Structure 1
Amino acid sequence: MDLVLHLADDYLLDKVWARLLPLDDHLYASLPTSANFTSITHLSQSTWPRDYIPRQIISLSVITLVGIHILYFLFAWLSYKFIFNHEMMRHPRFLENQVKQEIQSSIQAFPVMTLLTLPWFQAEVMGYSKLYDNVEDYGWAYLVLSVPLFLFCTDFGVYWTHRLLHHPSVYKTLHKPHHKWIVPTPFASHAFHPVDGYLQSVPYHIFIFTIPLHRLLYLGLFVFVNIWTILIHDSDMVTGHALEKVINGPSHHTLHHLYFTVNFGQYFTLADRVGGSYRQPESSLDPMLEIKKQS
């Protein structure tokens, strides 16, 4: 997020902050000499310089909210339009006005999820993470291997977080709102209780504060995580493909929404196999069969 903030400052936010809080020459002359007010370059023509924490927090909040709305509506719409089987909307457990409810739930969750995530982003901007810029620091082999490392580590983290959210002590309050969507559409991908959505994102933040990862690669993976989350919520039940027992895809997550206690993983089936919660997708479990019965 520090890279995104830097680019946003370069191309937009410096001008916005300069207009909102323009630099006053007399005020500048009276400011105490400190790390925050050392040069007119760092002030970026605003009384709030780039490294001023309140400015960073506000900027990060706006960037995050705008970004998640763009990601959500763009890719959920694309999946809904071109991948999601609209016949699923005739399923007996598909709710009235469900798509509208899914979107409303997501929009309501985004501000609180953003607020909860801000400390991680702020710590990243302040340089406390293990993100790095130069490939030469760890080499190309590590760069390539860090992708499966990120996916497997966060998958296990999400698995156990997700499974704990199904514990009776917290399920009704935190996770049941997401399981309102028995037959979800891609718009259900982010339709969480905000604390639920935040907790399932924590493994991704922990990773970059414990394991080195290239900054640009992390940004790409962060976008991928959100797109993948959208894609596995299309109620699909395509079975028999080569990676079915390895990749935890839409068919697996469809079973999770139908039966609640299986396939908690995000990307792979390994965590579910280790945790004893794996269920193999089968054509006989396809929710489309319920629709055909009505025909």
Structure 2
Amino acid sequence: MLLSSAIFYYSYVRITYEKWLKKSNPKYPSASLVRLEIILMVKGILAGTFCPALALYLMGKQKLKGYCGIDEYGWKYLIVSFFIAWISTDFFEFFYHRMGHTIDILWKVHKSHHQFYNPTPFAVIAEDYVDQIVGALPLVFIPALIPINMDLLFFQFAFFFYGYGVYLHWGHEFSYPDAHHPAINTSFQHYLHHAVSTRNKPYHTGFFFKIWDQLFGSIYPNEKCFCVKCQHAQGYRTREHYDNVEKPDYRVLLQWRFWINSK
């Protein structure tokens, strides 16, 4: 929440022309939509604690193969298990996300996340509680299947999935890695996903690695790319365009009446 708030303040409140040039969608979301993102994010935080709490409970009951420290399995196993957990979880997140677009009952669950077609960092876990619980299941099933350092596993989820997820929902792009990176999903791919993916159109449901979407044929056509670099090449993003963009007053998010009365 603090990370999302800090990035939102820098990128959406302290708006400049230079920052806008990096924004995938040239428009800014309304304060009401950001309010809804924050409400669903708080609900997502509550739901997202279920699997971590369950994992710690089962660890206490010695029902899982998780462990702490290095000595028991050594550094080599720690490094190998890091990549096993990272790659397997990335595929799991991709495939469950893909099913959220291709299976009707799961789309009914997932579509609440897609009301944020122009997301901010608050949208990272602004989704249904079912998506939150299922998305965190690797915290339980990985230590149920193999010995894994639990500190490492929790760190991976905090950094590689929540932290990277905030970047994916940032709505702005880095010069590198840019949208055309051959292996890594960037913030543009995830913005594109929010903007054009819907039921039975699962473009870029991958999280970190592009390979899953490449294997399943769900890469958006490169010739239709509308990342900021391609927009610049086409002559868009002028100063005049920026001056005409509506810039919402997000200070209302600090007013309690806005939270009570806003619809």
- Report the TM-score when normalising by structure 1: 0.65
Q: 2:195 aligns with which of 229, 234, 258?
A: 258
* Counterpart for residue 45 of structure 1: none
How far the C-alpha of 1:189 sits from its partner, in A, is 0.6
Question: Does the 8 Å CA contact 1:158/1:201 hold for their aligned counterparts?
Answer: no
Distance 1:178 1:219 in 2: 24
Question: Does the 8 Å CA contact 2:100/2:107 hold for their aligned counterparts?
Answer: no
How far the C-alpha of 1:187 sits from its partner, in A, is 0.5
Kindly provide the CA deviation profile for residues 203-243 of structure 1, in whole angstroms up to 9, marking residues without a partner as x: 34322221222232223223212212112101124466388
Where relative contact order (Cα < 8 A, 6+ residues apart) is larger, the structure is: 2
* Counterpart for residue 170 of structure 2: 234
Kindly provide the CA deviation profile for residues 105-138 of structure 1, in whole angstroms up to 9, marking residues without a partner as x: 1123333444566444422332222212242322
Do residues 248 (structure 1) and 185 (structure 2) align?
A: yes
* Counterpart for residue 78 of structure 1: 6
- Report the TM-score when normalising by structure 2: 0.72
* Counterpart for residue 276 of structure 1: 217
Unaligned runs of 5+ in 1: 1-72
**1:59-78 aligned within 5 A:** 73-78=1-6
Unaligned runs of 5+ in 2: 245-263
Distance 2:174 2:224 in 1: 8
Kindly provide the CA deviation profile for residues 28-57 of structure 1, in whole angstroms up to 9, marking residues without a partner as x: xxxxxxxxxxxxxxxxxxxxxxxxxxxxxx
Q: 1:215 aligns with which of 135, 146, 150?
A: 150
Distance 2:59 2:36 in 1: 34
Q: Alpha carbons of 1:151 and 1:252: their partners in 2 closer, same or farther (altered >3 Å)?
A: same
Q: Aligned residues: percent identity?
A: 22
**1:150-229 aligned within 5 A:** 150-224=85-159, 225-229=161-165
- Aligned CA RMSD, in angstroms, stands at 3.1
- After TM superposition, where is structure 1 displaced by more than 6 Å over at least 4 residues in a row? 280-283
Q: Alpha carbons of 1:140 and 1:113: their partners in 2 closer, same or farther (altered >3 Å)?
A: closer
How far the C-alpha of 1:249 sits from its partner, in A, is 2.4
Secondary structure of the corresponding residue to residue 267 of structure 1: coil
Q: Alpha carbons of 1:231 and 1:134: their partners in 2 closer, same or farther (altered >3 Å)?
A: same
Q: 2:81 aligns with which of 146, 159, 173?
A: 146
Secondary structure of the corresponding residue to residue 231 of structure 1: helix
Distance 1:93 1:83 in 2: 10
* Counterpart for residue 39 of structure 1: none
